Chains A and B, each alone.
Chain A
Amino acid sequence: MAALQVDLVAADRQVWSGEASMVSARSIDGDMGILPGHTPTLVVLAEGDVRIHSGEGVRTAKIDGGFLSVDHDKVTIVSESVEGDGFSA
């Protein structure tokens, strides 16, 4: 339960993949945070920022809506277009 395995995926590329301690994103019902041990969930995301808290600090990416799925501490964020600072393409 130590860390989340996060994949941030855009339509044309895998944007980022790595470990994180927390992920927060804006769902269509409001902001939500994911910590290790979260129950398996499939969430519809609204347009907004996704923040990934990892050992190297917080990374922020702007997405145009998409999905977030959590499953056994594996978080997958899927969006058609992702713009972010601190993410190498």
Chain B
Amino acid sequence: MGAQIRVYRQRIRSVSATKKITRAMELMAASRVVKARAAVMESAPYTHALTKALSALATYSNHPHPMTTEVENPQRAGVLILTSDRGLAGAYASGAIKESERLIGELRAEGKEVAAYLVGRKAVSYYKFRGREYAAEWTGNTEKPQVERAREISERIVEDFLKPTAEGGLDEIHIVYTRFNSMVNQEPRVLRLLPIEVVDAPKDAPASNDILPLYEFEPSAEEVLKAMLPRYVTARIWTCMLGAAASELAARQRAMKSATDNAENLINTYTRLANQARQAEITQEISEIVGGASALAESK
């Protein structure tokens, strides 16, 4: 066998091995994305119940709370960036990081100091590689977020938010995540987490048969608000994490699909080249034989 064919065959084998891997990853991402989307759906009742209770609270009581009041002259802002642990998901992680860079640039232009809170190894390595400082990091399990993680993040962020500004407290907190629009469309988004923007109070004027009840609060409206706001923050973070996980998996599925398609194209091309090389070899052999035979015939 000619050297050329051997090289082509080798390439074909190596590309087929890669194709098997990318195909497996595509299928895995495809099955996980279904679960991730189901998790998004399942978390909806919780968020809905909290939002409803909070809007009832906002409608019937007027207690100011540091988590809902805007600071007049914000000086420090926190940015929570949700990325993935692994690559191989197309532009997923870099999209979120790019969006966060844009936001941080904007905040800096407004004269605010920015503290970064990173989720996912991709964001952490981005910051480490550039030698930048960040306030906190959480890595692991970005594909399948756990409620405990959301609570950890929210506790840390709320704690930093409630510190006085002089001690490094934050005046506002933004979250950068990737919103899951559809299987083929995910976009990096920015959401202001704190101070909490007044929750959608009854949007349309309450219909006569649907008057919001006059609630009693136990132990008191203030206490309820104090207990509820951190949970609301957790729920917001949790929702974003779930959306980001679904986006990550969808992005990975798409990236792996195109990698598989590319591998197929390569295999096709190399197969053709190998066939051509084989044919050339045969043709050459035939002409050598014919040439040899006619040389023998002439010499007789």
Interface of B is mostly: helix
Q: A71 with B215: in contact, given A9-B46, A78-B53, A80-B151 (CB under 8 Å)?
A: yes
**Chain B residues numbered 1-47 whose CB sits less than 8 Å from any CB in chain A:** 39, 42-43, 45-46
**Does A10 lie within 8 Å of B219, measured CB to CB?**
no
Give the contacting residue for A44; candidates B39, B50, B218; CB below 8 A: B218
Q: How far apart sit A11 and B224, CA to CA, in the bound complex (Å)?
A: 18
**Interface status of B207 (Cβ within 8 A of chain A):** no
Q: Which residues of A contact B204 (CB under 8 A)?
A: none
Q: A66 with B231: in contact, given A11-B147, A40-B214, A80-B147 (CB under 8 Å)?
A: yes
**Does B219 lie within 8 Å of A80, measured CB to CB?**
no
The interface on chain A, measured as residues whose beta carbon lies within 8 A of the other chain's beta carbons, has a size of 27
**Does B53 lie within 8 Å of A67, measured CB to CB?**
yes
Q: Which residues of A contact B42 (CB under 8 A)?
A: 12-14
**Does A78 lie within 8 Å of B219, measured CB to CB?**
no
Q: How far apart sit A12 and B46, CA to CA, in the bound complex (Å)?
A: 7
CB distance from A30 to the nearest CB of B (A): 10
Q: Which residues of B contact A80 (CB under 8 A)?
A: 147, 151, 231, 234
Which residues of B are in contact with A by a Cβ distance under 8 Å?
A: 39, 42-43, 45-46, 49-50, 52-53, 56-57, 147, 150-151, 213-219, 223-224, 227-228, 231, 234-235, 238
Which residues of A are in contact with B by a Cβ distance under 8 Å?
A: 7, 9-14, 27-29, 32, 39-44, 65-67, 69, 71-72, 76, 78, 80-81
